Amino acid sequence: MNSNKRWKVLLIDDEADIREVVSLTMMDAGYEVITAPDGKTGIDLCKTQRPHIVTTDIRMPDINGIQVLETVKKFDPDIEVIVITAFGEMNLAIKALQLDASDFITKPINDESLHLALNRAKERYLSRKHLKDYTALIEKEKAETTQALIRTLEFRRNLIESSMDGILACDQNGIVVTMNAAMEKLLGFSRTEIVYKRTVDQFFSQREMENFQKKMKENRYGGRNRLFLYETTLIGKDNKKVPVQVSASALFEQGKESGIVCFFRDLREIRRLEREFEDQAKVLHQDKMMSLGRLAASVVHEINNPLAGILNYLRLMIRIVDREKPNPEQLEKFRRYLEVVENETSRCSKIVSGLLTFSRKSPSAFGDVYIEDLLQRSILLSHHKLELSNIELKTDISPNIPVVKGDINQLQQCLINLIFNAVDAMPTGGTLWISANYDPNEKKVIISVKDTGPGIAKENLPHLFEPFFTTKKEGYGVGLGLSTVWGIMERHNGTVKVESQPGYGADFKLILPYSA
């Protein structure tokens, strides 16, 4: 029988005949059989040969079958032991069964009972093995599941622990059951002081807690049983108030509310930045107000002077006219007075229109500006002035200049202001260079107005573009030319720059952006 081939049986019997007969029977049935003539040899063989089944005679000199059974079972409880008893030794048979023998056979051994006993031993062996494998499998799976569970729990714990937001959960009675490190920081309490010891309402004012609970019940604020980004104040250790933004969600177990989990975001840093920002805005506003005040004061001063002159001359003329009809000599005086009045009035008007250009915010008439065209127009308007001052004009306009977007009138105003300043700087003549070129890398058009005048003192450079800054004599300069240029360039997203070394003239550059 092939199915018995893998079964190894150790047969222990001190009677050689029995060994021979029984082993033959077993071998015929396909078992692999080893034999031993006494208990000691049997036990040794058991250890080296590892049989599945041991069949042992009970009555043997020295070590008897019961001892063999005990020793074998101790050594390997999986080995099945069948004891062979003589007729009438039922008590020994029972003892053997109590010691976990799988069966007993009585002498004289007949084949049938031998096979029955062997089959039963095999069954026992196999079912025990199956049970063992099954247990091992379950153990393994259990271990794996436990590991996975531990990993998941650990991961969740880490997730909660490493959150930047404070996380706190409480049960249905409001008792805090867990919280993370960020929450400890927010409250200033360690979790051992809080978890299972305090209720969540201890960290809010009564009013805030009522609000919080009311909002949790409402459908708004993230939906019923939820709260989304609600701003409130936590009360931490030593009554410290901490502004927070809280999102919360009620927890349910089998349809019953079992607690709430809350996420708190610390708003202290945001509030600090807000305050800083507000302070800055305040300072900026103050700055603006101050410069506005300064500007107003200057305007009043600038306009007051000419107005005083105008008023004086007009009053004088009225007084003369009131007294008598003016004679030709007086009329001649009047003409001079009126000239002053005209000059002063146009000065006032210049100040006012200059201020208007300076303060205008939105671009008025933006369109295509051809730089060459712009320069020609500006030169034409200043030609007469240049000739009067004996100034030689040199131009250099590069051919590759693209068309820029802008308000040609305002840009022309810029150029005229620069040219007139240059002319003013060279009252006894000199050279004026007007050039234009394009920087394709920077995508910028650069127009330069350069003179051979005395240049600009270093200490004046930072003030050139301030309104009403002038070094010119009363009646010659208002000090709005360059600030107007600056304002116009701003509106064109451009800049105005100056380079000057005293004694070597000044070079003003208008830099305009080009965008295709």
Ligand X SMILES: Nc1ncnc2c1ncn2[C@@H]1O[C@H](COP(=O)(O)OP(=O)(O)OP(=O)(O)O)[C@@H](O)[C@H]1O
Count of residues engaged in binding ligand X, rule: CB under 6 A: 21
Does the protein bind ligand X through residue 264 (CB under 6 A)? no
- CB 197, CB 286: distance < 8 Å: no
| Of residues 368 and 392, the one with the C-beta less far from ligand X | 392
Residue 174, contacted partner among Mg ion, ligand X, none, CB below 5-8 A by kind: none
Under DSSP, the state recorded for 390 is T
Nearest Cα to Cα of residue 420 among 495, 337, 485, 514:
485
Q: 67 or 343, CB closer to ligand X?
A: 343
Candidate list 85, 298, 421, 500; residue touching Mg ion; CB under 5 A: 421
3-state SS, residue 246: strand
Q: Of residues 187-206, which lie at the interface with ligand X (CB under 6 A)? A: none
Instruction: Pick the stretch among 334-342, 358-366, 381-389, 478-486 that binds ligand X (CB under 6 A).
Output: 478-486
Q: Rounded to an integer, what is the distance from CA 374 to the centroid of its chain? A: 50
Q: Which residues contact 173 (CB under 8 A, 6 or more apart)?
A: 199
Tokens 């930072």: give the residue.
Answer: 462
**Residue nearest to Mg ion as judged by C-beta position:** 481
**Does 425 help bind ligand X (rule: CB under 6 A)?**
yes
Q: Cβ(168)–Cβ(268) under 8 Å?
A: no
Q: What is the DSSP string of 211-222?
A: HHHHHHHSSSTT
- Residues of the chain by 3-state class (helix, strand, coil), percent to 5: 50, 20, 25
Query: Helix, strand or coil for residue 130?
Result: helix
Q: Which stretch binds ligand X (CB under 6 A): 35-43, 105-113, 219-227, 415-423?
A: 415-423
Q: What single-letter DSSP state applies at residue 393? A: E
Which of ligand X, Mg ion, none is residue 471 near (CB under 5 to 8 Å by kind)? Answer: ligand X
Q: Which is nearer to Mg ion, 85 or 421 (CB)?
A: 421
Judged by CB under 6 A, which stretch of 156-164, 203-211, 432-440, 479-487 contacts ligand X? 479-487
**Residue 355 binds which entry of Mg ion, ligand X, none, CB below 5-8 Å type-dependent:** none
- CA-to-CA distance for 470 and 184, rounded, in angstroms? 64
Q: Which residue is nearest to ligand X (CB)?
A: 481
CA distance 179 to 199: 12
φ/ψ of 340, rounded to 5, equals -60, -45
Among 178, 357, 412, 470, binds ligand X (CB under 6 A): 470
> Is 422 a binder of ligand X (CB under 6 A)?
yes
Q: Smallest gap, in angstroms, from Cβ of residue 382 to ligand X?
A: 13
**Nearest distance from C-beta of residue 371 to ligand X, angstroms:** 21
Does 505 contact Mg ion by CB under 5 A?
no
Q: Under the criterion CB under 6 A, does residue 306 sit at the interface with ligand X?
A: no
CA torsion angle for 302, 307, 310, 314 (degrees, to 10)? -170
CB of 487 vs ligand X, minimal distance in Å: 11
When asked if residue 464 is in the footprint of ligand X (CB under 6 A), the reply is: yes
Whole-angstrom Cα distance, residue 156 to residue 162? 10
Residues 481 and 473: their CA atoms lie apart, in Å, by 15
Please tell me whether residue 104 binds ligand X under the rule CB under 6 A: no
Our CA dihedral for 397, 399, 400, 404, rounded to 10 degrees, sits at 60
Beta pairing, strands 226-235 & 241-253: antiparallel
Contacts with Mg ion, 438-477, as mask; x by CB under 5 A: ----------------------------------------
Stretch that binds Mg ion, among 52-60, 109-117, 160-168, 414-422 (CB under 5 A): 414-422
456 counts as binding ligand X under rule CB under 6 A: yes
466 near 336, Cβ under 8 Å? no
The answer to the question of residue 81 lying near ligand X (CB under 6 A) is no
The binding site for ligand X (CB under 6 A) comprises 417, 421-422, 425, 451, 453, 456, 460, 464, 469-472, 477-483, 506
The binding site for Mg ion (CB under 5 A) comprises 421, 481
